[in-house]
Amino acid sequence: MRTDTGHVFKLEDYRPSDYLIPRTSLDFRLSPDATRVTAVLTVERREGVAASAPLVLDGDGPTLLGVAIDGQLLSEVDYQATPDQLTIPTPPAAQRFELRLETEVAPSSNEALMGLYRSNNVYCTQCEAEGFRRITYFLDRPDILSVYTVRIEAPHNEAPLLLSNGNPVESGTLADGRHYAVWHDPFPKPSYLFALVAGALGKVAGSFTTLSGREVELGIYVEPGKERLAGYAMDALKRSMKWDEEAFGREYDLDVFNIVAVSDFNMGAMENKGLNIFNDKYVLADEETATDADFANIEAIIAHEYFHNWTGNRITCRDWFQLCLKEGLTVYRDHEFSADQRSRAVKRIAEVRTLRAHQFPEDQGPLAHPVRPRRYREINNFYTATVYEKGSEVVRMIRTILGAELFRAGMDLYFERHDGEAATIEDFVKVFEDVSGRDLAQFALWYHQAGTPNLAVSSSYNAAAKAFTLEIEQSVPPTPSESRKRLMHIPLAFGLVGDGGKPVAWAAVDGAIVEDGVIHVRKRRHTVRFSGVSERPSVSLNRGFSAPITLSVQQKADDQIFLASHDSDSFSRWQAFNTLLTDALIAAFRQVLGGKEPAFAARLAELAGRIAGDEALEPAYRALALSLPGEADIARDIGKGIDPDAIFAAREALARTIAEANRQVFSALYDSLADKGPFTPDAASAGRRALRNILLDYLSLLPEGAALAAQHFNAATNMTDRTAALTVLAHRHAGSREAEEALAAFEARYRGDALVLDKWFQIQAGVPGRQTVEKVRALMQHPAFSIANPNRVRSLIGTFSSANQTGFHRADGQGYRFFAEIVLEVEKRNPQVAARLATAMRSWRSLEPIRQDKARQALLQIANAENLSADLRDIVERTLA
Ligand code: 0A1
Ligand code: ZN
């Protein structure tokens, strides 16, 4: 484990390396406890660098067995090796030389899951961000691009399959039952994209013909016996390959493309060149074991990793500060792909819900950082919602500002100009400036400045003058180490909405540049005056969520209700209803705190009933509209003095009010939506199931609710319906006979299927109320639980800490205490997973004083532990700062 050195990496300290490694040849002799790695590196001194410049390679604990230069073994006085560095103080005078390193590593005891490790007896690697240096000493930084040739040797019975990046070039058998394979990747790549897999795996084969007629062999490798669960992933891969050709003109470039699913993985998946490695949760699916949400995630993540082949691999990042260059852009591309494959309107609402749930709290708390940070202590902690999701929103805004055609021209120029390079955000922004002639300097602040901007907007209509005026004021709240903010360029899409939802015409506008339905907010204040407006419009703002901001709008509830029924922009229509719900929930929260019964305006429930039954709207859209803001969303919008029990009570009261008012409509609709034909995972069928399941959620609050949910559970023919019913039973009817029976039946049915039991852990970890902490502790003893497996830990501990507001934030602090103990336990094996878990505490300052104090104590308990990893110390100290 890398303990903390306290070193802070700074963007301004970047300088190119003195040495390059144009060629890398690796030879692996695999063995669980003592794998031998021979690395032969062609090292080249950069033009202009003094011959006396020492060669300093990065390491992270590989055992060094020998060093040779140009065939001459070095003696130990010729180099200095520490676990994290290998220095050759006086390299040869020649500009190019060959460095040969022998190292030994122990994959089977590697529980951090970085570098070379074993998962279910399969050898695999994870090198992003700095895992390659655990295998051998190297210039382990993304601007060192090298052409790799990799030879792998292992006993045939232990590892019949030997994979690496690029194309296969040779394989053969050796004495003693051993065999080998050689792979060559002609595309220069950084070390973080290196990958190796070896083991006994089942294969699903496919093929794809590219636009220019090249045949690509596709392979998805899974645990033997699970091949039939990889069909959906294979289909998603082919659709992704085709889409990237059509939408971005990007063709695949090797003869093979392989995906391997492993069960122990720190993140979702990894885009290693030609050999993507996946958390098996994002590959394996059928109706019996996966929910509609799982299918959608698989499709999106398969696409995401594939799209990295161009945005990340062919063009990579100069340094880790530029992480959003590949991640934000690739998320944008996978969002667009899913929008094209499914429903664009529904996809956009889901994206915004995710952004608000994960990125907004990050941006509004102690861990806030710019999309392109300037400082880090541990880069692993910057794979964040800000870099990924807000990074994607920034790319989307560029498209909004430039329009579709210029955006595509800019992307084409980006690929043409930077192919084969390690680039920066400045390079990326420049291509769009060059194709459009626009100055994007103010816009680029979206990359450099943290915090969620707010626009305060008020409107007025002067009937006599036929003038409609918007007063807009922007502010960006202070964030850690950035107390003063500069004014941003915010593209605010809008519409003036009149009778029946028709657009209201205007003759002229002044006070801001308004183009194609977008107000360009660039100053602190704008008075935007529309003239020639013959009726008083309702104004629909931030249509399609054109900018990742918060809005404070002085608007009457009547206007919101009107927009919730009539806005022609489907996102804003959803938003209007969601705002009404949020406002009602915040008012109810205050009533609960004041000891009152919360009360709700009848028209809110009426509107919910109307939306539910509106056949003109897609079922998936209706399901999203009916799903109330989550407890954490409500907490975020309240901002401070949070008492999660009061939020819970307010939310339950609203759900009950809506259910009671719409009992007949909901019940009839619920019956009519039952799946008829055989299961298909397509978006329309998934949407019908989503609507039916949210109706079940409401109906379960009425008398006989438990019986209805039990019936739904027993009749379910797919995992979506089964988990929806189980969640309703466990969360709303905790302890009931129906809940207990269903939980037991689920466990009995899926005993032995770890991925499915994760859902069972998750559902129980999410049961609201103070008793859940003990339940979670007890479930850690369940035979299916393992503290060494990231999926298990995230399902049980991650769900409890980040998705169970009343359970985790128990007023007596027991939730936090348990959490601190487990985070420290996880950290001993896997610092990265522990650090990510710890981010659940990031909003602790918004709690009411008693809980805040208990939360601080738990954070201090972690901070004061001995030998903390760099990963966990970084998160805990920033959270406490
Ligand atoms: N680049 C991957 C994410 C990733 C990052 C770090 C990892 O290390 C454990 C693994 C994966 C992606 O964006 O999909
Ligand atoms: Zn990515």
The predicted pLDDT at position 554 comes to 86
Among 725, 735, 593, CA closest to 650: 593
Q: Who wins on pLDDT, 289 or 500?
A: 289
Q: Which residues pair with 178 in a beta bridge?
A: 155
Q: Is the distance from the beta carbon of residue 389 to the nearest atom of ligand 1 less than 6 Å?
A: no
**pLDDT tens column, 869-879:** 999 999 999 99
The single residue of 153, 305, 389, 393 carrying the catalytic annotation is 305
Is residue 676 predicted with pLDDT exceeding 80? yes
Percent of residues, the chain, with pLDDT higher than 90:
98
| Tokens encoding 104 | 């030994």
Closest ligand 1 atom, CA of 269?
A: 14
The predicted pLDDT at position 555 comes to 85
**pLDDT tens column, 194-212:** 999 999 999 999 999 999 9
Q: In angstroms, rounded to a whole number, what is the distance separating the alpha carbons of residues 21 and 44?
A: 6
The predicted pLDDT at position 838 comes to 98
Q: Is the distance from the beta carbon of residue 165 to the nearest atom of ligand 1 less than 6 Å?
A: no
AA identity, residue 514: V
DSSP labels, 647-666? HHHHHHHHHHHHHHHTHHHH
The predicted pLDDT at position 6 comes to 85
Cα angle: 472, vertex 473, 477; to 5 degrees: 145
Find tokens 């990496």 and name the residue: 9
**pLDDT tens column, 22-78:** 999 999 999 999 999 999 999 999 999 999 999 999 999 999 999 999 999 999 999
Residue nearest to atom 5 of ligand 1 (CA): 128
Residues in the chain: 881
The predicted pLDDT at position 331 comes to 99
The predicted pLDDT at position 675 comes to 86
Q: In angstroms, rounded to a whole number, what is the distance separating the alpha carbons of residues 110 and 1?
A: 10
Among 718, 722, 786, 789, CA closest to 760: 722
Q: Is the distance from the beta carbon of residue 303 to the nearest atom of ligand 1 less than 6 Å?
A: no
| Radius of gyration for the alpha carbons in the chain, expressed in angstroms and rounded | 28
Strands (E), 280-396: 316-317, 375-376
Cα(244) to centroid of ligand 1, in Å?
21
Annotation marks residue 227 as catalytic: no
Residue nearest to atom 7 of ligand 1 (CA): 128
| Tokens encoding 641 | 């003095």
Residue nearest to atom 3 of ligand 1 (CA): 270
Q: Is the distance from the beta carbon of residue 267 to the nearest atom of ligand 1 less than 6 Å?
A: yes
Phi, psi of 468 (to 5 degrees): -115, 130
AA identity, residue 326: K
Closest ligand 1 atom, CA of 312?
A: 1
Cα(113) to centroid of ligand 2, in Å?
18
Percent of residues, the chain, with pLDDT higher than 70:
100
Cα(114) to centroid of ligand 1, in Å?
11
Closest ligand 1 atom, CA of 304?
A: 14
**pLDDT tens column, 270-316:** 999 999 999 999 999 999 999 999 999 999 999 999 999 999 999 99
Among all ligands shown, which has an atom nearest to the Cα of 392?
2
Q: In angstroms, rounded to a whole number, what is the distance separating the alpha carbons of residues 405 and 514?
A: 19
Q: Is the distance from the beta carbon of residue 130 to the nearest atom of ligand 1 less than 6 Å?
A: no
By the CB criterion, residues less than 5 angstroms from ion ligand 2 are 327, 330
Q: Exposed, middle or buried, 612 (CB in 10 Å: 0-12/13-18/19+)? A: buried
Cα(878) to centroid of ligand 1, in Å?
22
pTM, two decimal places: 0.99
Confidence of residue 556 (pLDDT cuts 50, 70, 90): confident
Q: In angstroms, rounded to a whole number, what is the distance separating the alpha carbons of residues 103 and 29?
A: 11
The pick from 2, 270, 836 for probing ligand 1's pocket by mutation, whose C-beta has the most ligand atoms within 8 angstroms, reads 270
Residues 6+ apart with CB under 8 A from 696: 670, 708, 709, 712, 724, 725, 728
Q: What is the mean pLDDT of residues 684-699?
A: 98
The pick from 128, 262, 376 for probing ligand 1's pocket by mutation, whose C-beta has the most ligand atoms within 8 angstroms, reads 128
Scored b (16 or more CB within 10 A) or e, 120-149 reads: eebbbbbbbbbbbbbbbbbbbbbbbbbbbb
Residue nearest to atom 6 of ligand 1 (CA): 128
Q: Is the distance from the beta carbon of residue 327 to the nearest atom of ligand 1 less than 6 Å?
A: yes
Q: Is the distance from the beta carbon of residue 112 to the nearest atom of ligand 1 less than 6 Å?
A: no
Q: What is the mean pLDDT of residues 547-573?
A: 95
Asked if ipTM goes beyond 0.95, one says: yes
| Average pLDDT over all residues of the chain | 98
Q: What is the mean pLDDT of residues 601-615?
A: 97
Closest ligand 1 atom, CA of 388?
A: 13
| Tokens encoding 543 | 């249509």
The pick from 124, 189, 267 for probing ligand 1's pocket by mutation, whose C-beta has the most ligand atoms within 8 angstroms, reads 267
Strands ordered across the beta sheet of 55-58: 55-58, 85-88, 80-82
Q: Which residues pair with 86 in a beta bridge?
A: 57, 81
Q: Is the distance from the beta carbon of residue 126 to the nearest atom of ligand 1 less than 6 Å?
A: yes
Q: Is the distance from the beta carbon of residue 311 to the nearest atom of ligand 1 less than 6 Å?
A: no
Three-state DSSP at 21 gives strand
**pLDDT tens column, 527-541:** 999 999 999 999 999
Residue nearest to atom 8 of ligand 1 (CA): 128
Q: Is the distance from the beta carbon of residue 269 to the nearest atom of ligand 1 less than 6 Å?
A: yes
Q: Who wins on pLDDT, 370 or 555?
A: 370
